[in-house]
């Protein structure tokens, strides 16, 4: 399986980089910048084309998406060359310029980009891939059920459009409990679907391959562009940025196991390149043609962000507002019209821009489209002093303190404050920390106004702060490199050749920092276990992805579905299920057409009356004509129960005489580090021997849960321990 997984990564890299690189080179972007920024443009092109296919009724597959997008990029490149040769004046974008943005390619720049890629691949292998007990391991959590089922729905239906998202795209009318399609940002799902369709790997393998690509290649490559913009002519700081980018536990690592927030992770991975393109477009002394090209890239980046996860658009805005103020102050100060009262004009223009930004923010906040997002509540979890400590220690929430990295960031923050060219960067980080602080320590309306676009979620807000802190960390590391260089220069072995001191100092500082920062948990004799930030991250990653360490869709249940249920029913037969027992994953992983593909959010006005009757009164099917009619409308023929309450009476959830690590054992070892970190989330409200996610509310599934071997209207087909498959008897 690992060989097919490697093939999936290679194919995914081709998909992400090929069209974007061709399009960017056509726009006269340098080769190095084109490589780093290619996934931004490629992701936007794929997501946009999938929407077009949805409108035109074209079935999506890897061929019908990749080939036209790559072909369009090649045609664009050819058309641009012809257009350039026949145009004159302002229309001729590349007149007199071979490279519009990205600078002249040098061997040094190429080596630096390679360094970013190398560190990224090493980090994603050590922190993420090493924690998988198989290339198809997956997180059994609420958000991931949606992601996996959405990808399966895309593949089964050929509809990959963000404007027509549904978990039931390939199903006949009546199966969907909440009928209809809606907007859901699906660019990440498009990429995974392409990988799975092209290589034949499982959906979970495709998910892991896409996440490895975004975290290990796309993120460091895009970060290289931003670092190069922030530190022009500072190769030491730029080299330090390769390590700083991957050094924070809160991003990208936490979002790969908490939630998990895969589309949000992908959107924030390309954020640095989107910010870079805007800064290039608004920089001083840029030609009109270079500004146009930069804005084209920025527009493509905006599309990619919006169709990956829209809150990344607001992350970009928060980061760039201080930059815009910085540029407004620069421009007004350099204008001859403002020469007489320059300081007053600078303050006036800066305040004017801030007022404009606040007004736009307020308008968006009050749009009905965002109402459900900005009103979402993650409750206060810290007081003021604790919130400050969380920021300084970079612990935020659910990640351990990184004291050494916190010191490095603090040094970089002070250095940025002292440099008027980088003061805006310190302001961006301070703004991100303020938003996090308000969300973490209050439950006021201000919390929603500031943090609502991120659901007031501390994990997403922590990721924002980390992204803004990365350049500060690079600057802080460069400061320590300079101090070590100064010490080395005093030694005789370096005084005769001072040029050797800089690379030696950089290697020493970065190796020592990486060793201390990424060090795993360890035992200290006489003191016990010492937990580190990345040691904790490693344990959480293993606990989340380890297939033998989960209780919701346990290995024994998977085998029951794969080896027995699928053989016992006709292909395509609709199966009524109670999703919180693990069967929510049966559609994505096994292709079983279960009816309920979400764990919660039922009971609202969007749910059909038939679905409500099935959930609450299915056990009355023999006597209740309304229930019989509702079942007929869905076309359902079977009922699947993976944790039948009537027969779940074995100690610790044992499957009769079967012993399965996915169904028992954790309560015997409450201090076992291999157990789920939050075992309480998996406990049923009804008893200690049945495992569900926290979303399970028994009253919402009373009709399905009440079905047992003696319920009229149901014929027992399969049984194993507390697992049951019944055929519905309507005649």
Question: Binning pLDDT at 50, 70 and 90, where does residue 656 land?
Answer: very low
The pLDDT of residue 673 is 43
The dihedral through the CA atoms of 633, 638, 639, 640 has a sign that is negative
Q: Residue 602: how many CA atoms within 13 Å on its side-chain side? A: 27
Strands 574-577 and 636-641: parallel
> Please, are residues 179 and 172 in contact by the beta-carbon 8 Å criterion?
no
pLDDT at 522 (0 to 100): 87
Rounded Cα distance between 95 and 292, Å, is 13
User: Looking at residue 91, what is its pLDDT?
Assistant: 44
**Predicted local confidence at residue 94, as pLDDT:** 44
Based on its alpha-carbon atoms, the radius of gyration of the chain, rounded to whole angstroms, reads 28
Task: Please give the pLDDT value at position 549.
Answer: 56
Count of CB atoms situated within 10 Å of the CB of 678: 10
Mean pLDDT of 357-366: 95
Q: Which helix (H) or strand (E) holds 5?
A: helix 2-26
Q: Are 249 and 532 in contact (CB under 8 A)?
A: no
Looking at residues 693-706, what average pLDDT do you find?
88
In this prediction, residue 98 carries a pLDDT of 64
- Contact between residue 644 and residue 650 where contact means Cβ atoms under 8 Å apart: no
- Over residues 475-499, the pLDDT tens digits come to 999 999 999 988 888 777 766 666 7
State the average pLDDT over residues 293-308: 96
**In this prediction, what percent of the chain has a pLDDT beyond 90?**
70
DSSP state of 441: H
Q: What is the pTM of this model?
A: 0.91
| Weakest mean pLDDT among 260-274, 362-376, 471-485, 693-707 | 693-707
Q: How many CA atoms lie within 13 A of 664 on its CB side?
A: 16
Residue 586 main-chain phi, psi, to 5 deg: -70, -30
CA distance 28 to 317: 27
What was the pLDDT predicted at 654? 36
Mean pLDDT of 373-389: 93
- The pLDDT score that the predictor gives to residue 687 is 37
- Inform me whether the pLDDT recorded for 117 exceeds 90: yes
In DSSP notation, 139-206 reads --SHHHHHHHHHHHHHHHH----GGGB-TTTTSPTT--SS-S-B----HHHHHHHHHHHHH---HHHH
DSSP reduced 3-state for 280: helix
Dihedrals φ, ψ of 523, to 5°?
A: -100, 135
Task: State the pLDDT at residue 247.
Answer: 96
Instruction: Give the pLDDT confidence score for residue 648 in this predicted structure.
Output: 64
- State CA 688 to chain mean position distance: 33
Tell me: the pLDDT tens digits for 583-609? 999 999 999 999 999 998 898 888 999
d(CA 141, CA 259): 7
- Res 397: pLDDT: 85
**Does an H or E element contain 528, and which?**
strand 528-530
| Digit-coded pLDDT (tens) for 18-57 | 999 999 999 889 999 999 999 999 999 999 999 999 999 9
Q: What percent of the chain has pLDDT over 70?
A: 89
Question: Distance (Å, rounded) from C-alpha 284 to C-alpha 337?
Answer: 18
Identify the pLDDT of residue 548. Answer: 62
Q: Does residue 162 register a pLDDT over 60?
A: yes
pLDDT for 193 = 98
Res. 285: pLDDT tops 50: yes
What confidence score (pLDDT) does residue 174 get?
85
Residue range 557-579: mean pLDDT, rounded = 93
- Helix (H, G, I), strand (E, B), or coil: what is residue 625? helix
Model confidence at 284, pLDDT cuts 50, 70, 90, reads confident
> Residue 458: pLDDT band by 50, 70, 90 thresholds?
very high
Q: Report whether pLDDT(85) > 70.
A: no
Q: Kindly state the average pLDDT of the residues 104-128.
A: 93
Name the more confident of 231 and 347.
231
pLDDT at 309 over 70: yes
Does the pLDDT at position 655 exceed 50? no
Average pLDDT of the segment spanning 443-459? 94
- Residues 127-137 have a mean pLDDT of 90
pLDDT score for 681: 33
Q: What angle do CA 204, 205, 211 make, to 5 degrees?
A: 90
The CA-CA-CA angle for residues 465, 230, 238, to 5°, reads 95
For the chain, give the mean pLDDT: 88
- 95, pLDDT greater than 90: no
For the ranges 8-22, 171-185, 631-645, 670-684, the lowest mean pLDDT is seen at 670-684
Question: Where does the pLDDT of residue 354 fall: very low under 50, low under 70, confident under 90, or very high at 90 and above?
Answer: very high
Report residue 468's pLDDT band, with 50, 70 and 90 as the boundaries: very high
The C-alpha atoms of residue 260 and residue 47 are separated, in whole angstroms, by 21
Cα maximum dimension of the chain: 97
554 — pLDDT class (breaks 50, 70, 90): confident
Helix (H), strand (E), coil (C) string for 15-80: HHHHHHHHHHHHCCECHHHHHHHHHHHHHHHHHHHHHHHHHHCCCCCHHHHHHHHHHHHHHHHHHH
pLDDT at position 133? 85
């Amino acid at each position: 399986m690992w060989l097919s997984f490697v093939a999936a990564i290679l194919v995914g890299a081709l998909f992400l980089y090929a069209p974007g690189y061709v399009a960017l080179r056509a726009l006269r972007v340098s080769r190095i910048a084109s490589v780093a920024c290619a996934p931004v443009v490629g992701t936007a092109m794929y997501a946009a084309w999938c929407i077009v296919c949805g409108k035109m009724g074209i079935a999506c597959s890897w061929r019908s998406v990749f080939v036209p997008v790559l072909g369009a990029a090649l045609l664009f490149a050819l058309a641009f060359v012809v257009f350039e040769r026949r145009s004159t004046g302002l229309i001729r974008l590349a007149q007199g310029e071979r490279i519009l943005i990205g600078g002249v390619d040098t061997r040094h720049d190429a080596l630096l980009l390679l360094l970013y890629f190398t560190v990224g691949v090493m980090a994603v292998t050590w922190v993420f891939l090493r924690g998988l007990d198989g290339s198809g391991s997956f997180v059994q959590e609420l958000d991931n059920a949606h992601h996996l089922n959405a990808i399966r729905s895309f593949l089964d239906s050929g509809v990959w459009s963000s404007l027509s998202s549904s978990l039931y795209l390939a199903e006949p009318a009546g199966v969907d409990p909440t009928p209809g399609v809606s907007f859901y940002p699906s660019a990440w799902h498009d990429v995974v679907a392409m990988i799975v369709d092209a290589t034949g790997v499982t959906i979970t393998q495709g998910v892991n391959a896409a996440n490895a690509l975004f975290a290990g290649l796309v993120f460091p490559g895009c970060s290289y562009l931003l670092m190069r913009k922030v530190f022009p002519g500072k190769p030491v700081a730029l080299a330090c940025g390769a390590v700083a980018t991957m050094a924070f536990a809160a991003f990208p690592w936490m979002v790969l196991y908490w939630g998990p927030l895969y589309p949000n992770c992908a959107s924030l991975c390309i954020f640095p390149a989107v910010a870079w393109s805007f800064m290039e477009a608004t920089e001083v002394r840029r030609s009109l043609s270079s500004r146009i090209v930069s804005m084209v890239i920025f527009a493509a980046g905006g599309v990619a962000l919006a169709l990956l996860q829209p809150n990344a658009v607001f992350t970009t805005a928060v980061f760039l507002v201080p930059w815009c103020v910085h540029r407004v102050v620069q421009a007004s100060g350099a204008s001859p019209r403002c020469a007489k009262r320059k300081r007053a004009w600078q303050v006036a223009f800066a305040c004017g821009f801030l007022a404009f930004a606040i007004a736009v923010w307020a308008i968006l906040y009050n749009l009905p489209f965002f109402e459900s997002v900005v009103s979402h509540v993650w409750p206060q979890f810290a007081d003021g002093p604790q919130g400050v400590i969380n920021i300084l220690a970079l612990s935020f929430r659910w990640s351990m303190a990184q004291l050494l990295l916190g010191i490095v960031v603090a040094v970089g923050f002070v250095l940025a404050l002292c440099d008027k060219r980088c003061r805006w960067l310190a302001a961006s980080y301070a703004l991100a920390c303020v938003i996090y602080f308000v969300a973490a320590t209050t439950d006021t309306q201000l919390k929603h106004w500031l943090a609502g676009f991120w659901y007031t979620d501390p994990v997403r807000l922590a990721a924002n702060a980390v992204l803004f802190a990365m350049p500060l960390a690079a600057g802080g590391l460069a400061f320590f490199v300079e101090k070590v260089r100064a010490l080395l220069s005093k030694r005789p072995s370096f005084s005769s050749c001072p040029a050797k001191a800089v690379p030696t100092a950089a290697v020493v500082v970065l190796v020592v920092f990486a060793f201390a920062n990424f060090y795993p948990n360890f035992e200290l004799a006489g003191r016990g276990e010492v937990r580190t930030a990345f040691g904790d991250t490693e344990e959480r990653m293993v606990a989340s992805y380890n297939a033998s360490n989960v209780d919701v869709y346990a290995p024994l249940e998977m085998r029951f579905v794969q080896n027995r249920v699928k053989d016992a029913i006709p292909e395509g037969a609709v199966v009524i299920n109670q999703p919180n027992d693990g069967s929510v994953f049966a559609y994505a992983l096994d292709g079983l057409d279960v009816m309920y593909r979400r764990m919660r959010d039922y009971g609202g006005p969007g749910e059909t009356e038939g679905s409500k009757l099935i959930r609450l009164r299915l056990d009355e099917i023999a006597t209740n004509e309304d229930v019989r009619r509702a079942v007929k409308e869905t076309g359902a023929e079977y009922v699947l129960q993976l944790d039948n309450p009537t027969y779940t009476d074995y100690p610790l959830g044992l499957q009769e005489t079967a012993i399965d690590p996915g169904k028992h054992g954790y309560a015997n070892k409450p201090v076992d580090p291999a157990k789920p970190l939050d075992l309480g989330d998996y406990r049923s409200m009804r008893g200690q021997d049945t495992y569900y996610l926290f979303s399970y509310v028994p009253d919402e599934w009373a009709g399905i849960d009440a079905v047992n071997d003696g319920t009229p209207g149901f014929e027992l087909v399969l049984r194993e321990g507390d697992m049951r498959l019944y055929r519905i008897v309507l005649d």
